[in-house]
Structure 1
């Protein structure tokens, strides 16, 4: 039976319901008047406008929230080791101290006995699509903002309940959705947003329908109006679209350098922007003190991006050793996914499934290059277009065990991925350290029933094996 606490009482029609107040009725009429282009933003922005003042007042009046996690072991994500006899004090949003002396809890502290569970930092997915992960492609192309927003809201909570407290969103209309999560309206992970992925005509992410080609003057397609992609072919437009995403709050920029698996009409082997184009893009993001993540599978696309000065390569499953050496020499990040079988890409069919098979074949060699050459490697899942695929997020993390030790896999999904997020520099939306459990770090924590360094498979079943999930100091799950 579902019980709704006082925090969420306003979401149901009870005696105190405000759903029929004049202010909310006026807001509803305003929402009805919004265009399709603005509906997703309007939904979140209207909610945020009403929620933020009340939350701000509550925070100024409330006493500090103190939580002590005791009788625990701790995964040191820097060293890759587990230490025992630890307790962690959280005050409000931060870790106040990590203690091994069994110091008594400060007055007014909620004490949680972790029963010798292992506390790990909240997991970080470096390649996620908040809006697209759980929405089937046919619904997405249908452009119904209501179902898209509803599916994304449900998936955001499921993502958090899988232990992922932070995601790097690499393409989608996520800015207002992020604001809703940050304001506490929608439960979900922290989001490092890219906004619209920027591509050329015919590139991955160009999902224009046949009746939208050719362009009618400057008219934008449905997917562009939604904010999922920006299709550009001139340098001036490229600069403009990058600046627009940064203006809206992008922490990094996603540029498409090659074809893709899920775009039905963009061949996997194609290359999009020229090296000169990419240099212009790098110049714009440098002016904004952040970086570009480039979608690229082939040697040609990856090498072109590296020569242009791009510091983060996404995917790269089809590269050769020469290209891998170039990644290592440039000191660039490789952000990739351990795709192994169709179970990891079950939403793909037809030509997408054929392309996915090519990716599966390239995955083992890619990770072998990364290990051999010491490439800075981040982990992501890149789940798309399927609510059923969501639980694969945890399974794909454990796929790393094919090439890395259990400790190294956990390090990659915590401390390592946090280092990649730090490339956002002055565009970082969250002040504080992520991916570590130490004094002053943000309080994103997961308690595992058992030791994942000894048994990485514990990560695969978060419902059973994650007894506590805390994000930003707030407990979202506690079965202890």
Structure 2
């Protein structure tokens, strides 16, 4: 099909060249959108910047505010001013009456593994994997996602490249390799790799930093400390089975309480916390007893587990797994059944999270799915099924920012994210849409995000 398309285009170019010369050829491409190029430098402002003529959503979930302007100085929000503010000697951006809001935060994102198939991730040169991840990081930022909490994978190098301005992308809060028990959700070995002896080499996934296997408290301590040494903001453990797993059933409970506690204590010694992949009540409760601060998924939770989350002040990092157009497609009946259970549990989970007032985060968990990454924000817009639109936006901005701040001294970025307030980092979006009514504008970020700013630097400006 591509071959035929290429032949048609080349034939048309030849025809136009013969009839009208170069101008006729160039007319063929008039109006085509040129994508933002990797490595293109964002626009910086040497002095203060004033954003005016806007409706403000500050991230709190409260109503939009009129009649204010935002002053940005040195990459941070300097002040929220009444009216247009002082404009003499300051660059001004007129937002055209549109909504100004904080940059979005995806609290469950796989920076290195989202936009590549599982087969490619396991068989391609690791350099290729990282190049794909760099391209996707730029696309993530251009969707208005200015920060992500990476929940597993070798993202340290990409984070550094983004922070140094080598490539464009969101702020990355890395967890490093996912820590899994043998036969756990992060055990990616093949059957022929078993048994593992004391001198057996590490698997390819372990060597590349995708996941590491740890059995017993001593190994869990070692693997946790290794990720902290590499620069992890928080630690990720697999405490239960999953839908996509080849070996571990959805209902399995993984790691003993002592093993989980070993990771919690090691992370706590560095001033940060542990999050766990888990679905079932038994796994959730075991993790909470061990001191885990963030439950990732948990769609099969019962009321007792949810009450326990609320009582412990833990975060429930939920994703809208609804077995809809964004769901992964599985060829076997067993995984489709697990997927059905999780989808049914998702509806109950959002209801119980509100009923018991659990601190709830939004994330996507797009993994090994290049076709699904462009729909990242659709995973947010669909939450209006359970919440009003401004509450959803608050979840993806200030609430997620509060969750990421749990990394304490391991936070790689100095400053508040997810809020528009004095002193906060200037991660800002200007949007075409009315979030007090709906979030449909998120379904087409290329068209509806008119300005994207991260740290006071403008990466997109179509105002």
Structure 2 runs not aligned, ≥5 long: 1-31
* Match of residue 130, structure 1, among 99, 111, 128: 111
In proportion to residue count, which structure has more helix?
Answer: 1
For these two proteins, the number of residue pairs brought into alignment is: 427
Match of 1:318 in 2: 300
Is residue 347–residue 386 contact of structure 1 (8 Å, CA) maintained in 2? no
Superposed displacement of residue 218, structure 1: 4.4
Could you say if the C-alpha distance between residues 475 and 353 of structure 1 is closer, same or farther in structure 2, counting changes exceeding 3 Å? farther
Superposed displacement of residue 96, structure 1: 1.6
In 1, the alpha carbon distance for the partners of 2:123 and 2:217 equals 30
Superposed displacement of residue 110, structure 1: 2.9
**In the alignment, structure 1 residue 168 sits paired with structure 2 residue 146:** no
Superposed displacement of residue 451, structure 1: 1.6
Is residue 82–residue 453 contact of structure 1 (8 Å, CA) maintained in 2? yes
- Greater C-alpha radius of gyration: 2
Q: What is the correspondence of 1:192-271 to structure 2 with a 5 Å cutoff?
A: 192-216=173-197, 217-271=199-253
* Match of residue 333, structure 1, among 299, 315, 324: 315
In 1, the alpha carbon distance for the partners of 2:37 and 2:244 equals 41
Note the aligned Cα RMSD (angstroms). 1.9
**In the alignment, structure 1 residue 391 sits paired with structure 2 residue 374:** yes
1:129-172, CA deviations, whole angstroms, 9 ceiling, x for partnerless residues? 00000010111111421321122111111111111000000000
Match of 1:75 in 2: 57
SS of equivalent to 1:397: helix
SS of equivalent to 1:388: coil
Is residue 257–residue 273 contact of structure 1 (8 Å, CA) maintained in 2? yes
Match of 2:76 in 1: 94
Match of 1:425 in 2: 408
1:357-403, CA deviations, whole angstroms, 9 ceiling, x for partnerless residues? 22111101111110100011111011111121012211110121111
In 2, the alpha carbon distance for the partners of 1:4 and 1:314 equals 33
Superposed displacement of residue 177, structure 1: 0.8
Superposed displacement of residue 262, structure 1: 2.3
Superposed displacement of residue 84, structure 1: 0.9
Is residue 294–residue 314 contact of structure 1 (8 Å, CA) maintained in 2? yes
Is residue 239–residue 255 contact of structure 2 (8 Å, CA) maintained in 1? yes
In 2, the alpha carbon distance for the partners of 1:406 and 1:113 equals 25
Is residue 38–residue 167 contact of structure 2 (8 Å, CA) maintained in 1? no
Superposed displacement of residue 212, structure 1: 2.3
* Match of residue 161, structure 2, among 169, 175, 180: 180
Match of 2:431 in 1: 448
Is residue 64–residue 91 contact of structure 1 (8 Å, CA) maintained in 2? no
In 2, the alpha carbon distance for the partners of 1:159 and 1:408 equals 22
Could you say if the C-alpha distance between residues 348 and 250 of structure 1 is closer, same or farther in structure 2, counting changes exceeding 3 Å? farther
In 2, the alpha carbon distance for the partners of 1:236 and 1:220 equals 17
Match of 1:363 in 2: 346
**In the alignment, structure 1 residue 139 sits paired with structure 2 residue 139:** no
Could you say if the C-alpha distance between residues 5 and 413 of structure 1 is closer, same or farther in structure 2, counting changes exceeding 3 Å? closer
Match of 1:27 in 2: none
Superposed displacement of residue 7, structure 1: 7.3
In 1, the alpha carbon distance for the partners of 2:337 and 2:94 equals 50
SS of equivalent to 2:396: helix
143-152 vs 165-174, greater mean Cα deviation: 143-152
In 1, the alpha carbon distance for the partners of 2:372 and 2:45 equals 41
In 1, the alpha carbon distance for the partners of 2:370 and 2:91 equals 35
1:234-286, CA deviations, whole angstroms, 9 ceiling, x for partnerless residues? 21111000000001110100011001122222211111100111112211111
Match of 1:121 in 2: 102
**In the alignment, structure 1 residue 375 sits paired with structure 2 residue 361:** no
1:173-211, CA deviations, whole angstroms, 9 ceiling, x for partnerless residues? 001110001011111100010000101011111111233
Match of 1:409 in 2: 392
137-146 vs 307-316, greater mean Cα deviation: 137-146
Is residue 38–residue 138 contact of structure 2 (8 Å, CA) maintained in 1? no
Is residue 125–residue 417 contact of structure 1 (8 Å, CA) maintained in 2? yes
Is residue 78–residue 423 contact of structure 2 (8 Å, CA) maintained in 1? yes
Normalising by structure 2, we get a TM-score of 0.88
264-273 vs 364-373, greater mean Cα deviation: 264-273
Is residue 347–residue 384 contact of structure 1 (8 Å, CA) maintained in 2? no
Normalising by structure 1, we get a TM-score of 0.85
In 2, the alpha carbon distance for the partners of 1:466 and 1:399 equals 18
Could you say if the C-alpha distance between residues 412 and 386 of structure 1 is closer, same or farther in structure 2, counting changes exceeding 3 Å? same
Is residue 300–residue 342 contact of structure 2 (8 Å, CA) maintained in 1? yes
